[in-house]
Structure 1
Amino acid sequence: MDEFWVFGYGSLMWNPGFAFLERSQALVYGYRRSLCVHSWVHRGTQRDPGLVLGLDRGGSCRGMAFRIAPEQWDETIDYLRERELVTNVYLERCLPLQLADGRASKAIAYVVDRSHTQYAGGLDAIAAARVVHGAQGQSGPNDAYVFNTLAHLQEMGIRDHWLEQVVGEVERLRKAA
Structure 2
Amino acid sequence: MSTLLSLNAQSRDADHMLEQALQQWGGERDLWIFGYGSLIWRPDFDFSERCSAHVHGWHRALKMWSTINRGTPQCPGLVFGMLSGGSCQGMVFRIPRDYGEAVMRKLWLREMPNAVYDPRWLPCKTLQGPVQALAFTLSRQSPHHTGELEPDEYRRIFSQARGIYGTTLDYAQATFDELQRLGIADKALQRLLSYADCDRSVESVAI
> What is the TM-score when the length of structure 2 is the normalising length?
0.80
Contact residue 128 and residue 166 of structure 1 kept, 8 A: yes
CA distance in 2, matches of 1:47, 1:139: 16
AA partner of residue 139 (structure 1):
Y
The one-letter amino acid paired with 1:131 is I
Per the alignment, residue 109 of structure 1 pairs with 135
CA positional deviation for 1:125: 4.2
CA distance in 1, matches of 2:30, 2:130: 11
Report the structure, 1 or 2, having the larger strand content. 1
Distance verdict in 2 for CA 1:40–1:142, change over 3 Å: same
Q: Hey, what does 1:78 align to over in structure 2?
A: 105
User: Aligned letter for 2:125?
Assistant: Q
The equivalent of 2:180 in structure 1 is 154
Any idea what SS the aligned residue of 1:133 has? Answer: helix
1:132 maps onto 2:150 in alignment: no
With 122-131 and 165-174 compared, the bigger mean Cα shift is at 122-131
In the TM superposition, what whole-angstrom CA distance separates every residue of 1:107-131 from its partner, at most 9, and x where no partner exists? 0100013222111132244432332
Q: What is the match of residue 166 of structure 1? A: 192
Q: CA deviation at 1:86?
A: 2.3
Secondary structure of the residue that 1:167 maps to in structure 2? helix
Secondary structure (helix, strand or coil) at the match of 1:163 reads helix
Contact 1:95-1:109 at 8 Å conserved across structures: yes
| Other structure's SS at 2:71 match | coil
Q: Percent identity?
A: 35
> Structure 2 counterpart of 1:43, which letter?
R
Structure with the bigger percentage of helix: 2
Name whichever of 51-60 and 113-122 sits farther off: 113-122
CA RMSD of aligned residues (A): 1.4
Q: Amino acid of the residue matched to residue 108 of structure 2? A: R
Q: Give yes or no for the alignment of 1:94 onto 2:121.
A: yes
Q: Is the 8 A contact 1:91 1:112 kept in 2?
A: yes
Structure 1: state its 5+ residue gaps: none
Please tell me the residue identity of whatever aligns with 2:140.
Answer: R
Number of matched pairs: 176
Specify which of 64, 67, 71 is matched with residue 40 of structure 1. 67
CA contact 2:119–2:134 (8 Å) conserved in 1: yes
Q: Secondary structure at the match of 1:122?
A: coil
C-alpha offsets along residues 40-62 of structure 1, whole Å, 9 cap, x if unaligned? 11100111011111111111100
2:155 is matched by which residue type in structure 1? A
Cα drift, residue 141 of structure 1: 1.4
Structure 1 residue 27 displacement after superposition: 0.6
